[in-house]
Amino acid sequence: MKPGYYGNWGGAFVPEILHETFRQLNAVFAEAQADPSFWQQYVDLMASYSCRPTPLTLAENLTRRFGGAQIYIKREDLNHTGAHKANNVMGQGLLVRRMGKTRVIAETGAGQHGVATATMAAKFGLACTIYMGEEDVQRQRPNVFWMEKLGATVVPVTSGSRTLKDAINEAFRDWVANMDSTHYVMGTVCGPHPFPAMVAWFQKIIGEETRRQILAAHGRLPARVYACVGGGSNAMGIFQGFMADEEVELVGVEAGGKGLTTGQHAARLTAEEAGNHPAGTPGVAQGYKTMFLQDSDGQMKDTHSVAAGLDYIGVSPMLADLWEGGRVRMAAATDAEVMEALQLTMASEGIIPALESAHAFVQAFREAGELPPEAAIVINQSGRGDKDIFTIAHAFKDPSWQAFIRAKGEEYAKEPAS
Amino acid sequence: MKPGYYGNWGGAFVPEILHETFRQLNAVFAEAQADPSFWQQYVDLMASYSCRPTPLTLAENLTRRFGGAQIYIKREDLNHTGAHKANNVMGQGLLVRRMGKTRVIAETGAGQHGVATATMAAKFGLACTIYMGEEDVQRQRPNVFWMEKLGATVVPVTSGSRTLKDAINEAFRDWVANMDSTHYVMGTVCGPHPFPAMVAWFQKIIGEETRRQILAAHGRLPARVYACVGGGSNAMGIFQGFMADEEVELVGVEAGGKGLTTGQHAARLTAEEAGNHPAGTPGVAQGYKTMFLQDSDGQMKDTHSVAAGLDYIGVSPMLADLWEGGRVRMAAATDAEVMEALQLTMASEGIIPALESAHAFVQAFREAGELPPEAAIVINQSGRGDKDIFTIAHAFKDPSWQAFIRAKGEEYAKEPAS
Amino acid sequence: MTLAQEIKQARQDREILLMTHLVLGYPSFEVNREVIARMVEAGVDIIELQIPFSEPVADGPVILRANQEAIDRGVKVRQCLEFAAEMTDRHRIPFLFMTYYNILFKYGVEAFLQKSKESGIRGLIIPDLPPEEGEEYLTACRRLELAPIQIFAPTSTEARMKKLAGHGGGFIYCVARRGVTGTQTSFDQDFDRYIDRCRRATEFPLAVGFGISNRRDVDLLRGKADIAVIGSATIRLVEAQGAAAVSEFIAGLR
Amino acid sequence: MTLAQEIKQARQDREILLMTHLVLGYPSFEVNREVIARMVEAGVDIIELQIPFSEPVADGPVILRANQEAIDRGVKVRQCLEFAAEMTDRHRIPFLFMTYYNILFKYGVEAFLQKSKESGIRGLIIPDLPPEEGEEYLTACRRLELAPIQIFAPTSTEARMKKLAGHGGGFIYCVARRGVTGTQTSFDQDFDRYIDRCRRATEFPLAVGFGISNRRDVDLLRGKADIAVIGSATIRLVEAQGAAAVSEFIAGLR
Ligand SMILES: Cc1ncc(COP(=O)(O)O)c(C=O)c1O
Ligand SMILES: Cc1ncc(COP(=O)(O)O)c(C=O)c1O
């Protein structure tokens, strides 16, 4: 197989101007992989700066409620900056140091990857520019505020659908102009090789911890592992811990948006019914080959999800391969199901999953009851939901929240910048 | 000394109707303290549900900037729910289980203790009512939203100054009516005995971890340990790890608000100038004896701080004693200094302290340069600041934030509850 | 005669005594003056003068608000002491202070009690001062022959009641139920058993408070308690109908 | 004659050739038609027809927007192929397709190239398809005698340039600088050294693009490059002044 390919998927469809940059990146990444002290440095950094290992929490109340498998939650929400994104970003930060670059750029959708990158840049003393679709800038203003306070420049991207995919394009445009000084911190297991391999490598820390933890807590491997799939980094992160354990079923959950038949979703691999084709078709964009949501000409479609972090046209080439080969089963959760699972999880366990993560909860809740109590399942809680307050309070149509925002708005209208 | 007293301070000034409740609470607490398996159960819970031990992070950039002591940050912000409040609350939750009560109540100022209590109640399957000053309900709407989603009832308190102290009074009023079913989860090391002892006992987990961690990381004890002081729980938590180490100076930092001479602050123990009297005077209120901000009649004053969690009239009787005895040095940081330290910490380290915690950073920054590089200092970062976005963005007068809020407000004005 | 003796004597003539309550300076000392005059005239036996405190934890919404408004209007402890002296001078019936401990503590416990004594006050009710915390207070009360009125609660055990009574003076204030001042109490079998327990624990007369607002409530206490305490009810009445309404209200209670 | 031979021949007559660019369907095929006619009339030597793609990563703001508006207005790949056939039929000069790989991939690489050939297209520029990923494409181009135009960049090493040239056809598109299309390039000493390196690596004629917008730019390329590429500049011109302005603009370049 060609390097950078996973079955039929992957590759590095990169403009010539970046050829050397990628050569260097591949070399530094290979060096890091070959150097055990690098991994140790990474683990130490994540232990002292974030809070790895993150816990594995037994959800007793949810387990009781569904009356089936023991439900365990892997707590990536407890990472510094609130999501698994920190793992990848801090890892790439160490590579940036090795390369001696002085600036990083990144795309962001939900804002989590942007906040994580801005955080890493502050810690590592790097200049930082974050590209973010204008629509997402509107949706995720708190994250923009923090990125700026962390010292990053946030550039609203006004092209295309003004969301994540356009931010990626814009980041590439910056990169082709500034690659000598600048590293592009790709936020998920997508993009041209070696990004999927690199991001997956850093994220495998989730799965390695989880495997140890579930064996210690439950005494045996879990029956199933659930993770939401935007680009696929948290999913690949946890799945890698169980890849060789054939008895562990790996389940990825995509954004079903308003429903798979509505066209307003971001489910690339999940077929509406067993036996049907999924909505995604093979394509090449943003530097790699995978299953994209595109029209018959190859133009990318608009996607929709209540979770900005899942609202993306492509999916990891690694997951496309694992899905094609049957190792990973794909499912989808709709916006409405997600809000329900979120509410249930908050009230039952005192845990607030990110909207993205709540997709994995939906599917786990559907299936937990089918399994016997001796079985365990693990849900990867990729992030915490309190960052999503504007979206969640909006989605719940909370009247006190709306009144609060109106009053604040009126206050600012009266004395702007007071 | 009488039980429940720390030097001249403390006690249990409790209405007769609660006498039995306190007897039971003292008994259960004593039982728990005598039972080593209880502490283990607590440590295990905090490890699997929160992410203890929380890391100790070396702040390399800040250290370089101030050119003195190595600056270490204890990361209580990485706790589940975002602050040290979780330690106390989960511990009291275990006591509630022992007592067989089915409902908890709590006061909250900043909202962090309320969110933590609502979280614990969800996890432990308890009914939950949170009392919160009406003014704080306005200031901290996001926290109110989460408390409600976690299943708690939030009662806005309209009496008095409509802030933390009034919420405490109101919680007591609930308790004297419902003590058979209900436990009052006091949020800090204040209130009648055994609350200070109990909260301090649970919070000492911070100091025990920190002592181990700094010895491992730095090879010797820190020269100074800094913690902000509202009620004093995070301070007592970390200080207990070093109480016997006389060479370690313990520094508590109070809310200097608009300045110690303005009357708009919450500094009870810090004198405006060395040799002067502090603004607090001995008093008895809310069930205990300490240094209160009160007038010459004994009526409590209004306090002010940009940090809701420090905006309180009293202070832990334990800290009053340690201050009186010279073991703990007290200092104050003004609102303006706090915003500056916050900005610096974000941009230098990628870490966002809570407004409360940022007070400790101010004092540490003032003093770090005085110490040699072989020395280490530890700052207790009691919580994370992203919960404070409304206050912080407001204080920074961020125009994009204001525009965002105005636009959202207008959207809700157009189609309410849409 | 001690306050306890005086109460016992009064009980010879009346099946139940009435103790009323008001918050000093609320809505004003002038209104207090008129209300007190009408109470005394209508036959009230004892009056509790509450010195306002900013943190009245044992009080319900009505008294709480009265405390706060009085403080907001600038009422000072010194004024309360002077007003008490004026009242004890003008009226024969016993007057008590009710307040929270910080008012005494801040003034100086000894000094405050000395001043109370000089003002003609007969006893004090301090709901947040259990005897364990009240050594200085109890000693000074005894020395000054002020009654340190103790409180029983439905949750108090027999041993506890005995202990409290041992420190007490004047009468025992029996909190009728769980909760704060100002809401309705149901005087049921449980209540009767509770009052029996109180009786067995002490020789002091028993006052019963919390939620008494009409003649029916007072009637239910006849033969059980020695003193019926009317608290929030008069404050509500004065707020709604003014001081003049007090006469008829009190007259109607017995 | 191969495209490379044809270009070399044309260079015998002219010191520098001009290649222009437009986005198909932007603002409309009608305007494209008029612009192309004027370009040919004004003496343009080669025209690059960009088939719009939703994710044009290598393009700057002007061309990016043109791509998107064309797609928003419903431009289809099929129409672009038909339009190309019409143009190659009407005009003598060589036409190229410029687009991103997904357009070919989704159509079927072989089928797309077959169709391009049938439409009279002479070569293709696919900026996101390095030779390592382009085996099928390169093989089919060779079989169909379509020029798979390769791109050199200032960052390309000598070895890399040689390798690229080995896969190339028609000419080499030398990206003048880091960055995307549409912004100014400074043609300085570094640039001269870069072009020297390009020359040494290949026999193919050299086209230089990125940011060329006036006669001065073209003059600076004389004696260095074989072809000056004008991209965003004409799109901007047509947007501002309409298709008619193209004639004078092109005439003024040389
Ligand atoms: C919390 C969280 N979970 C999941 C995702 C989706 O990304 P991925 O599929 O790469 O894990 C995001 C992206 O922003 C996220 O913020
Ligand atoms: C983050 C944080 N730090 C500090 C405090 C102050 O409390 P304490 O002094 O008890 O630690 C609070 C109170 O809400 C808080 O939320």
Task: Encode pLDDT of D66-85 as tens digits.
Answer: 999 999 999 999 999 999 99
Q: Are A282 and A275 in contact (CB under 8 A)?
A: no
Q: Rounded distance, CA C180 to CA B169, Å?
A: 11
**D68 vs A: CB within 8 A:** yes
Which top CATH class is C3-253? alpha beta
**B221 vs A: CB within 8 A:** no
pLDDT of the residue at A418: 44
Q: Are C52 and C26 in contact (CB under 8 A)?
A: yes
Our answer on whether the CB atom of A70 is closer than 6 Å to any ligand 1 atom is: no
Q: Residue written as tokens 């009190």?
A: C250
> Domain B5-49+84-196, what fold?
Rossmann fold (3.40.50)
- C229: helix, strand or coil: strand
- Are 3 or more Cβ–Cβ pairs between B and D shorter than 8 Å? no
Residue spans of chain C under pLDDT 70? 180-187
Q: Delimit the domains of chain D by residue range.
A: 3-253
The segment(s) of chain A belonging to CATH 3.40.50.1100 are 5-49+84-196, 56-82+204-414
Task: Give buried/exposed letters for B203-241 (b at 16+ CB in 10 A, else e).
Answer: bbbbbebbbebbeeebeebbbbbbbbbbbbbbbbbbbbb
Question: In A49-84, which ranges are continuous DSSP H helix?
Answer: 60-66
- A19–D106: do the CB atoms touch at under 8 Å? no
Mutate to test the interface with B, among C102, C104, C107 (most CBs of B within 10 A): C102
Mutate to test the interface with B, among C62, C129, C133 (most CBs of B within 10 A): C133
What single-letter amino acid sits at A136?
A: D
Instruction: Identify how many contiguous H helices and E strands chain C contains and give both numbers.
Output: 12, 8
CA-nearest residue of chain B to A62? B123
Q: Which region, left, alpha or beta, applies to residue A246 given φ > 0 means left and ψ of -120 to 50 means alpha?
A: alpha
* Tokens of residue A324, six digits: 């094609």
> Domain B56-82+204-414, what fold?
Rossmann fold (3.40.50)
* Separation of CA A219 and ligand 1 centre (Å): 29
- D95: helix, strand or coil: strand
pLDDT band at A124 (very low <50, low <70, confident <90, very high): very high
Residue spans of chain B under pLDDT 50? 418
Residues of A tagged active-site:
85, 107, 382
- Are 3 or more Cβ–Cβ pairs between A and D shorter than 8 Å? yes
pLDDT tens readout for residues A43-79: 999 999 999 999 999 999 999 999 999 999 999 999 9
Query: Which of A312, A382, A384, A392 most suits a substitution to test ligand 1, by most atoms within 8 Å of the C-beta?
Result: A382
Q: Which of residues 275-314 of B touch C (CB under 8 A)?
A: 281-287, 289, 292, 294, 296-300
ipTM higher than the 0.85 cut: yes
Q: Rounded distance, CA B319 to CA B238, Å?
A: 12
* Tokens of residue A310, six digits: 């899942």
Neighbours of chain A (3+ CB pairs under 8 A): B, D
**B412 vs A: CB within 8 A:** yes
Q: Rounded distance, CA A281 to CA A301, Å?
A: 11
Q: Rounded distance, CA B313 to CA C55, Å?
A: 11
* Tokens of residue B147, six digits: 């408390």
CA-nearest residue of chain B to A154? B400
- Residues with CB under 6 Å of ligand 2 are B 83, 85, 109-110, 112-113, 188, 228-235, 309-310, 354, 356-357, 382-383
Q: Rounded distance, CA A56 to CA A378, Å?
A: 9
- A146–B352: do the CB atoms touch at under 8 Å? yes
User: Cα B128 vs. chain centroid, distance in angstroms?
Assistant: 20
pLDDT in 10s for each residue of chain D, 254 residues: 899 999 999 999 999 999 999 999 999 999 999 999 999 999 999 999 999 999 999 898 899 999 999 999 999 999 999 999 999 999 999 999 999 999 999 999 999 999 999 999 999 999 999 999 999 999 999 999 999 999 999 999 999 999 999 999 999 999 987 776 655 566 678 889 999 999 999 999 999 987 788 899 899 899 999 999 998 899 999 999 999 999 999 999 98
Q: Rg of chain A over CA atoms, in angstroms?
A: 20
- List of residues 6+ apart from B52 with CB closer than 8 A: B43, B46, B79, B87, B205, B209
Q: Rounded distance, CA A396 to CA A342, Å?
A: 11
Continuous segment of H or E residues that includes residue D124: strand D123-125
pLDDT of the residue at C190: 85
A141 burial class (0-12, 13-18, 19+ CB within 10 angstroms)?
buried
Q: Of D48, D82, D118, D248, which is the active-site residue?
A: D48
Phi/psi for C147 (5° steps) reads: -85, 115
* Tokens of residue C87, six digits: 């009242």
Q: Which of residues 118-137 of A touch B (CB under 8 A)?
A: 118-123, 125
DSSP per-residue string spanning D139-197: HHHHHHT-EEEEEE-TT--HHHHHHHHHH--S-EEEE-SSS-TTS-----HHHHHHHHH
Beta bridge partners of A252: A227, A330
Mutate to test the interface with A, among B75, B404, B418 (most CBs of A within 10 A): B404
Q: For residue C180, which residues of chain B lie inside 8 Å, CB to CB?
A: 173, 176-177
Average pLDDT, chain D: 94
| Count of Cβ atoms closer than 10 Å to residue B370 Cβ | 12
pLDDT tens readout for residues D12-53: 999 999 999 999 999 999 999 999 999 999 999 999 999 999
Q: Rounded distance, CA B259 to CA B241, Å?
A: 31
* Separation of CA A310 and ligand 1 centre (Å): 6
Question: For residue C14, what is the DSSP state?
Answer: -
Phi/psi for B105 (5° steps) reads: -130, 160
Q: Nearest to residue D88, comparing CAs of D53, D116, D52?
A: D116
pLDDT tens readout for residues A145-160: 999 999 999 999 998 8
Q: Nearest to residue A230, comparing CAs of A204, A269, A284?
A: A269
- B401–A145: do the CB atoms touch at under 8 Å? yes
- B294–C102: do the CB atoms touch at under 8 Å? yes
Q: What distance in Å separates residue D106's CA from the closest CA in chain A? A: 6
Q: Rounded distance, CA A187 to CA B313, Å?
A: 46
pLDDT of the residue at B47: 98
* Tokens of residue B234, six digits: 């995070």
* Tokens of residue D181, six digits: 């299309």
- Whole-angstrom CA distances from A395 to A355, A392, B376, D238 are 11, 5, 47, 45
The dihedral over CA atoms of C171, C176, C178, C179, expressed in degrees to the nearest 10, equals -80
pLDDT of the residue at D213: 84
Q: What distance in Å separates residue B324's CA from the closest CA in chain A? A: 35
Neighbours of chain B (3+ CB pairs under 8 A): A, C
pLDDT tens readout for residues C144-161: 999 999 999 999 999 999
Q: Nearest to residue A57, comparing CAs of A364, A357, A379, A415?
A: A379
- B405–A418: do the CB atoms touch at under 8 Å? no
- List of residues 6+ apart from B94 with CB closer than 8 A: B32, B38, B41, B42, B45
D112 burial class (0-12, 13-18, 19+ CB within 10 angstroms)?
buried
Q: Rounded distance, CA B324 to CA B115, Å?
A: 33
pTM: 0.96
* Tokens of residue A290, six digits: 């995978």
* Tokens of residue A107, six digits: 């795309």
Q: Are A135 and A110 in contact (CB under 8 A)?
A: no
Our answer on whether the CB atom of A266 is closer than 6 Å to any ligand 1 atom is: no
**Average of per-residue pLDDT across A280-289:** 98
**Average of per-residue pLDDT across A322-339:** 98
| Count of Cβ atoms closer than 10 Å to residue A20 Cβ | 17
CA-nearest residue of chain C to B17? C153
* Tokens of residue A259, six digits: 């429903």
